[in-house]
Structure 1
Amino acid sequence: MQGKLFDLPKRHKGEKAMTVMLRKTESLCPVCMKRIEAFVTIENNNVYMNKKCQEHGSWKVLLWRDAELYQKWGEACVHADPVENTMKEKEHGCPFDCGLCPDHEGGTCTAVMEITNSCNMACPICFAQAGQIEPFNPGMEEIRAMYQTILDSGGICSVQLSGGEPTVRDDLPEIIRMGKSMGFKHIQVNTNGIRISEDYEYLKALKDAGADLVYLQFDGTREDIHLFTRGREMLSVKESAIENCRQAGMGVLLVPVIVRGLNDDNIGDILRYAKSKMPVVKGIHFQPASWFGRFPYEQPSDDKRMTLQDVLKSLIEQTDDGFEMDHFIPRKRFDSHCAFSSLFLLDYENRLHAATKIGEESKQLIRERMEAYKSAKTEKDNSDYFTNGANTFTDKHWRMGEKGKSGDWEAIERIRDYRLSISGMPFQDVWNIDIDRLKGCCVHVVGTENRLIPLCAYHLTAADGSRIYGTKGE
């Protein structure tokens, strides 16, 4: 689905900007939600989507601020994993037949199970419908059916228990235990951290039931950020939640929603905070704000749109760990602009070293850094010596390790415990949704009607606040 790599023309002073078309796709009208023709173009080194509804007008939406990087990432794209078993017939076309339908080209990598729409907060920014519609708290047999839907569609994958706020359910440990008994190896809990900051025994019960990771909402290191995004001060809650996770032996992934002009200048401080909380903090997953759910419905201007490239640029500029753009790997399945991932390892001088780089073979990189680490441990040289276990990464990276033996095991423990994942994924909204990209989505919300719905489609919100999906798990 990627366009041809273009050599961008040089523009002389006073010349009108030239528009280069990369590819044709389809999008949605933000007003009536009808499928309409769209074009991805380059102008002034920015990448835009241009689309027009015959009834409601035209829109030009910023996708990316660096056209050359956008095209370079496009070269990394390969075809998505096929969907093994579709569950809904094609009738109206994408995105109106999600289930998944035969048009979908991306199997499930992460299944998001919304086990409640109740919440103990009322955040000004929220793509869920917590507290806005009729209460939804499926029973255990409904939840078993949701797990089975994932298995029937394609088998074992990572599961995220979400909401609403899943920790408002006292039976969450039983829900986790059920998933483990059905064969799911990695189950994470998406939470604002309030209950686990106050109730250690509840957190310990989640851990004992088999929870592998706390996916912790964490928008920044300043209270003004939390006041804007969450409507209240939250730093003490996050501190207590992370400390309780440390005591319980539960790994934590920090998840900041990045709003341009609010906390994009805090990205470096978020990284430094994560480093200070290792090894309990295992990673950071940046989510540039999208215009859906509980968020302003009008089209954002270019200066408000936070892109993946903006996140990476801020990481490089606001930190002193020697980050390079090539340390961050674009998603290789279907649309490479959907997400990035990376892995870094912390030395004894509190400096991160890249274990990922575009163009390098991971296994060779791992071998080289393992040998360098062993040598450096003897020579007290804190150079580029780290590695990671690429195999079974999802299953093992997010867990906090147990203490091992001395000797060589000390080096292995350091590598295992002091590695930090940095990733990011901006969800599509009605303004920038690309139907071709949506067909390759591998993050799916599990509904209670034996359906899997791509997350971007599930939370899609029109200009008047209406939705296609996302009511009572449907």
Structure 2
Amino acid sequence: MPERKVAPYIFHGQTVSLCDQCLAPVPAKIVFDEGKVYYLKRCREHGVRKALISNDIPYYKRCLDWLKPGDRPQEFQTRIEAGCPYDCGLCPDHEQHSCLALIDVNDECNLTCPVCFADSSPSRSGTLSLAEVEARMDALMASEGEPDLLQISGGEPTVHPRIIDILHAAKIRPIRHLMLNTNGLRIARDREFVEQLAELMPGFEVYLQFDSLEPDTLKALRGADLTRIRQQALENLEEAGISTTLVAVIRNGLNDHEIGAIINHALSWSCVRGVTFQPIQDAGRIEGFNAGSNRAVLSEIRRSIIDAENPFGEDDMIPLPCNPESISIGYALRQGRAIAPITGLLPREVLVDALPNSVSFEKYPELRSRISDFFSLSTSPELAPGRLEALLCCLPEMPTPRELGYADLFRVAVVEFLDAHNFCISRVKRSCVHFVSGDGKIIPFDTYNLFYRDEAARARKAASYAAFRRQLADNAIVLEGEP
């Protein structure tokens, strides 16, 4: 009797991804192979493609334990016609509201970075008027009621002639947290501008581009050695007491070895509330990028955080419940440069029930209350004996839990966006990071760069849909509606 053939991998499940050549939606097997997670995608025109999704099978499976019912938007902007990802707007098939909404106020930038998701540069035109920006804010208000977080972005938003007016327009609306996404050049050079930003506190934060501590790496990612600019920007933010998050785009073989160093550098500034790491995405301008060798996946960065010389351990970097496969986060109490992680001490059910998006702690008294209740010695039998005492001994001058504020926390997050290689229909439907477009539509970051950002993206969408229809025709399937 002949021996049965054994598959060279473990078949875990199935999803819908995209062909990285024609961008048509294609079936994808989710397989475990040699300790890693891959998509095996089959396109009728371009054959089988293999994409790395995770290098940590246990963590990949653990993410599903953190799922919870999505918080739906108050208002949808489009109907379901052609199906995901062709009806973005948000459509009623989307499972998550906007935890973080972005408004690009311009296309112009004062840098021409070799890596830029938006493909911005000094030669790009396109600046929204204040009225146009406010119309987008109002579209977000209609969808969210009281938005969790609005990030003003670009291009480089600080070169917009009315950027301060735009930020004030956001502050008069019931938005829980406001951020300015910037490369830091104006903050480093314009002290009066920094003083104007300080007037927006509290509930305001600078999202500062900070990819590396090494000049050659900065040149590769940003086209210039910005070391002195970053230093001066942080000095000005520190002096003004402006809450800041450092954000680093990570490319394997370039700056992935700096993850621990960036966290340690962040802790040297009292104004820095945390670090966000973003694996490089195949979108916009990405000079020198190779999807096979340069792609970093979330699990790799998470492992580097855990392995670095800092207190964050395996249980401290958890999946964020709103989109657990795409976001990992860890919270710590902070006293100066010393930190003591707390996410690993809290039961999963407490965090799933109470954890908000990654930056709005100061506007979420419910989370603060849950942490306080759990840290109370009289109400926390789950806490192992001595754990709380050890925690407070590490940070002897910490306020009591009920007095905790945003400045007493330090946050590390990994946020992975999707492109044609790692696209997954379920992750898109759970996406909680959204762009607000000019027609009032609210579009997931993952599909915005692929299909909606500009004329080139819309052309890709049309080509993708045409390829999709060809494949459907081969199977004699007929769809009603067009994207």
Q: TM-score, normalised by structure 2?
A: 0.81
**What does 1:8-407 align with in structure 2 at a 5 Å threshold?**
18-131=8-121, 135-157=125-147, 158-209=149-200, 212-277=204-269, 279-295=270-286, 300-301=291-292, 303-319=293-309, 321-333=310-322, 335-347=323-335, 350-357=337-344, 359-360=347-348, 361=350, 366-367=372-373, 369=375, 383-385=390-392
Which piece of structure 1 moves more, 80-89 or 203-212?
203-212
SS at the partner of 1:276?
coil
Which piece of structure 1 moves more, 162-171 or 288-297?
288-297
Change (3 A) 1:367 1:27: same
Whole-angstrom CA distance in 2 between matches of 1:325 and 1:371: 25
Change (3 A) 1:147 1:219: same
SS at the partner of 1:87?
coil
Q: What is the match of residue 403 of structure 1? A: none
Whole-angstrom CA distance in 2 between matches of 1:45 and 1:418: 38
Whole-angstrom CA distance in 2 between matches of 1:83 and 1:125: 32
Residues 369 and 385, structure 1, Cα contact 8 Å, conserved in 2:
no
Give 1:168 deviation, angstroms.
Answer: 0.3
Cα deviation code 1:156-212 (max 9, x no counterpart): 221000000000013111101111222223110000000010001012212324570
Whole-angstrom CA distance in 1 between matches of 2:458 and 2:226: 32
Residues 285 and 422, structure 1, Cα contact 8 Å, conserved in 2:
yes
Whole-angstrom CA distance in 2 between matches of 1:298 and 1:226: 15
Residues 80 and 107, structure 1, Cα contact 8 Å, conserved in 2:
yes
Cα deviation code 1:18-44 (max 9, x no counterpart): 322222111122222222212211111
Residues 26 and 38, structure 1, Cα contact 8 Å, conserved in 2:
yes
Whole-angstrom CA distance in 1 between matches of 2:183 and 2:13: 39
Residues 369 and 384, structure 1, Cα contact 8 Å, conserved in 2:
no
Whole-angstrom CA distance in 2 between matches of 1:409 and 1:332: 28
Q: What is the match of residue 446 of structure 1? A: 436
RMSD: 3.0
SS at the partner of 1:189?
strand
Q: Which residue type is aligned with residue 318 of structure 2? A: I
SS at the partner of 2:48?
strand
Structure 1 position 427 matched with structure 2 position 427: no
Q: What is the match of residue 468 of structure 2? A: none
Change (3 A) 1:453 1:107: same
SS at the partner of 1:384?
helix
Q: Which residue type is aligned with residue 346 of structure 1? A: R
Q: Which residue type is aligned with residue 353 of structure 1? A: A
Whole-angstrom CA distance in 1 between matches of 2:325 and 2:338: 28
Give 1:17 deviation, angstroms.
Answer: 7.0
> Unmatched 5+ residue regions in structure 1?
1-14, 373-380, 389-406
SS at the partner of 2:69?
coil
Whole-angstrom CA distance in 2 between matches of 1:133 and 1:95: 31
Percent identity, aligned pairs only, is 29
Change (3 A) 1:187 1:104: same
SS at the partner of 1:41?
strand
Cα deviation code 1:224-282 (max 9, x no counterpart): 221110010011111111111112221110001111111111111111101111x2111
Which piece of structure 1 moves more, 262-271 or 134-143?
134-143
SS at the partner of 1:148?
helix
> Unmatched 5+ residue regions in structure 2?
352-368, 379-387, 462-483
Give 1:298 deviation, angstroms.
Answer: 7.7
Residues 17 and 43, structure 1, Cα contact 8 Å, conserved in 2:
no
SS at the partner of 2:303?
helix
Give 1:414 deviation, angstroms.
Answer: 8.2
Cα deviation code 1:315-368 (max 9, x no counterpart): 12221x3321110120212x41110111112346x4321111263535665446
Q: Which residue type is aligned with residue 198 of structure 1? A: R
Q: Which residue type is aligned with residue 222 of structure 2? A: R
Residues 108 and 126, structure 2, Cα contact 8 Å, conserved in 1:
yes
Q: What is the match of residue 470 of structure 2? A: none
Change (3 A) 1:39 1:205: same
Q: Which residue type is aligned with residue 240 of structure 1? A: Q
Residues 150 and 446, structure 1, Cα contact 8 Å, conserved in 2:
yes
SS at the partner of 1:21?
strand
Whole-angstrom CA distance in 1 between matches of 2:247 and 2:314: 21
SS at the partner of 2:115?
coil
Which piece of structure 1 moves more, 34-43 or 215-224?
34-43
Change (3 A) 1:257 1:298: closer
Give 1:416 deviation, angstroms.
Answer: 5.0
Q: Which residue type is aligned with residue 328 of structure 2? A: F
